[in-house]
Structure formats: structure tokens, C-alpha cells
């Protein structure tokens, strides 16, 4: 398709959408797959493309986006925003890398309506990235359920693939999500990334009847590790590194993902469904492990 036509189609989708922002929730399996670093690098890459980006940090703590960027604090700003006293532009400080960050833990957001939480997404941002914190059932927050896409980050390792599948299973039954996007992180070769994605897609289609879309992959290189040691993102610290180029490619392609309707939050999941998910996630995940 001609790029001009593609740009027009994307502009029309944005115009017809409820919000002008593309909202992407990012999560994954075990700690260590790189969800937080993925969000920061994608945000920096998107900002480098001239996009207005807002990162919403639900995972406050030592390894959070806020901590990685030098300690972004904003509980007071969040309460003022949700109360309607200030706008999102004032609540979310802009990092020197060019994107805004809003610390919004699930605890600080509890008690607010979906409409109030939606004010975080109603600003001028072209893209909103949510570093999601799942609850004990593996469910998204009331804010994250207003996203258009759920991006699962995984690695080329049997345990990571198993956990990614279990994560998708729980999210599928909690929120009726029919499609996920998957980013394979820290890969040593394209063939490994393709094999990982194909195996995960096969298991998800067979046991969940859900589809997954390939969001791309990011190379494992010494520059990625060095950037983490420096508390920097590789896109900023080592822009010519293979991993930095991969993040920029994923970010550029993200802008052309089809704009789907926001996820519809489930009202109340039944005890039966929850117990079924809890008991069968590990059983089905064994199949993912065997395919890895």
C-alpha cells in the first residue's frame, strides 16, 4: 500500500477513535524478561520519531520505570489529576529523553471510577504505554483495561515462554482478550526469535483459540547490558547498537498497528472461571514448555 494512503488511513482511524492516543499495555511473565526496559526504550524511540509519548508506571519499586529514570514521583500529582484539579500535562513530568512519565500505582488508583482513570489517557499524547502490574489472578487494572493492545514481552527460554503463555491464559479468561502482541526480547538470532514466536502462537491457538501478532524482536548485545549498568536506555546511550535499532524498528511499526477498540473490562469473573484458570494454567503451560 502506498505510504501516503497508509498515513491517511491511520489518520482516519485516529479521528474516529474515542481517544486520539494509542494505548498499549505492556506485561510479560517472570521478572527479568525486560518489560520495563522495553517500555523505556520504546518511549525514547517514539519520542525520537517526533511523537508525544506518555508512560504510565503501575509497577512502582526498585525496578520500575520511575526508578530507572531517576525517581519520578507523582502520587500527589495523580490525586490532583483524578480529582480534576490539574490536567495531564501538569501531572506528568517530561523526562529529558522527550516523553512524559506518570507514577500511578494500583493502590493510588483504587476507589476511582473508570471515567476518572480515563482522564490519564485523554491528553495530547500520540502513544500511551502502560507498565502494567497484574493482580494475584493475573488481571489488568481498571486503567489498563482501557488500552487498545496488550503487548507480551518474553525471551528465548523455556521458562519465559511458559510464563508468557500462562500470562496470556489468565488475561484471556479475565478480560476475554482474543489477540495479543508478542515481543521476543534478548535474542541471539532471528531464527531463534521466529521459532519462539511460532511455538507460542501454535500453543495459544490450539489451547486458547486466541491469536498472537508478532511485534518484533530485540537483539541481545553488550550495549544493552552496559546501558542498564549505567541506568540508561540503549536507544539513548548507544543509538547505533543492534538492540537500539531493533527498538526503533518496533516503535516505528507500532504506529501502524490497526487501531482496535479498547478492551472491555469484565464486570465480575465467576469463582468457577477463576478456579479453572488457576488450576489449568500450569497444565496448559506444560505444552508451551514442550514446544519451546
CATH number of 12-50+126-131+141-291: 3.40.50.300
Q: What is the mean pLDDT of the chain?
A: 82
pLDDT in tens, 165-217: 999 999 999 999 999 999 999 999 999 999 999 999 999 999 999 999 999 99
pLDDT at position 267: 38
Question: In terms of Cα–Cα distance, which of 270, 214, 245 is closest to 41?
Answer: 245
**In what helix (H) or strand (E) does residue 215 lie, and over which residues does it extend?**
strand 211-219
Scanning the structure block, which residue is given the C-alpha cell 483459540? 209
Q: Could you give the CA distance from residue 48 to residue 251 in angstroms, rounded to a whole number?
A: 10
**SS3 assignment, position 62:** coil
The answer to whether the predicted template modeling score (pTM) of the entire model surpasses 0.85 is no
Q: Could you give the CA distance from residue 244 to residue 219 in angstroms, rounded to a whole number?
A: 9
Report the sign of the C-alpha dihedral through residues 7, 9, 11, 14, in that order: negative
Query: Which residues are bridge partners to 124 per DSSP?
Result: none
Please check whether residue 184 is in contact with residue 197, taking contact to mean a CB–CB distance below 8 angstroms.
yes
What is Dmax (Cα atoms) for the chain? 53
**In what helix (H) or strand (E) does residue 149 lie, and over which residues does it extend?**
strand 149-155
Question: In terms of Cα–Cα distance, which of 254, 274, 30, 279 is closest to 148?
Answer: 254
Please check whether residue 161 is in contact with residue 171, taking contact to mean a CB–CB distance below 8 angstroms.
no
**In what helix (H) or strand (E) does residue 127 lie, and over which residues does it extend?**
strand 127-131
Residue 237 has pLDDT above 60, yes or no: yes
pLDDT in tens, 3-47: 444 545 554 444 444 447 899 999 986 667 889 899 999 999 999
Q: Could you give the CA distance from residue 55 to residue 44 in angstroms, rounded to a whole number?
A: 10
Amino acid at each position: 500500500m502506498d505510504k501516503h494512503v497508509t498515513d491517511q488511513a491511520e489518520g482516519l482511524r485516529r479521528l474516529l477513535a474515542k481517544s486520539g492516543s494509542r494505548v498499549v499495555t505492556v506485561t510479560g511473565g517472570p521478572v527479568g524478561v525486560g518489560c520495563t526496559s522495553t517500555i523505556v526504550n520504546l518511549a525514547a524511540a517514539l519520542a525520537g520519531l517526533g511523537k508525544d509519548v506518555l508512560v504510565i508506571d503501575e509497577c512502582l519499586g526498585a525496578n520500575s520505570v520511575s526508578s530507572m529514570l531517576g525517581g519520578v514521583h507523582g502520587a500527589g500529582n495523580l490525586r490532583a489529576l483524578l480529582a480534576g484539579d490539574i490536567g495531564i500535562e501538569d501531572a506528568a513530568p517530561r523526562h529529558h529523553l522527550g516523553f512524559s512519565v506518570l507514577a500511578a500505582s494500583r493502590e493510588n488508583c483504587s476507589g476511582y471510577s473508570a471515567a476518572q482513570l480515563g482522564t490519564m489517557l485523554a491528553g495530547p499524547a500520540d502513544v500511551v504505554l502502560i507498565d502494567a502490574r497484574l493482580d494475584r489472578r493475573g488481571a489488568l487494572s481498571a486503567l489498563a483495561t482501557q488500552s487498545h493492545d496488550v503487548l507480551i514481552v518474553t525471551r528465548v527460554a523455556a521458562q519465559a515462554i511458559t510464563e508468557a503463555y500462562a500470562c496470556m491464559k489468565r488475561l484471556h479468561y479475565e478480560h476475554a482478550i482474543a489477540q495479543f502482541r508478542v515481543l521476543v526480547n534478548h535474542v541471539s538470532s532471528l531464527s531463534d526469535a521466529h521459532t519462539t514466536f511460532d511455538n507460542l502462537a501454535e500453543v495459544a491457538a490450539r489451547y486458547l483459540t486466541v491469536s498472537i501478532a508478532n511485534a518484533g524482536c530485540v537483539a541481545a548485545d553488550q550495549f544493552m547490558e552496559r546501558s542498564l549498568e549505567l541506568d540508561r536506555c540503549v536507544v539513548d546511550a548507544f543509538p547505533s547498537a543492534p538492540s537500539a535499532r531493533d527498538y526503533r524498528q518496533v516503535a516505528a511499526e507500532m504506529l501502524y498497528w490497526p487501531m482496535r477498540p479498547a478492551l472491555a473490562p469484565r464486570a465480575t469473573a465467576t469463582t468457577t472461571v477463576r478456579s479453572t484458570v488457576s488450576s489449568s494454567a500450569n497444565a496448559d503451560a506444560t505444552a508451551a514448555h514442550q514446544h519451546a
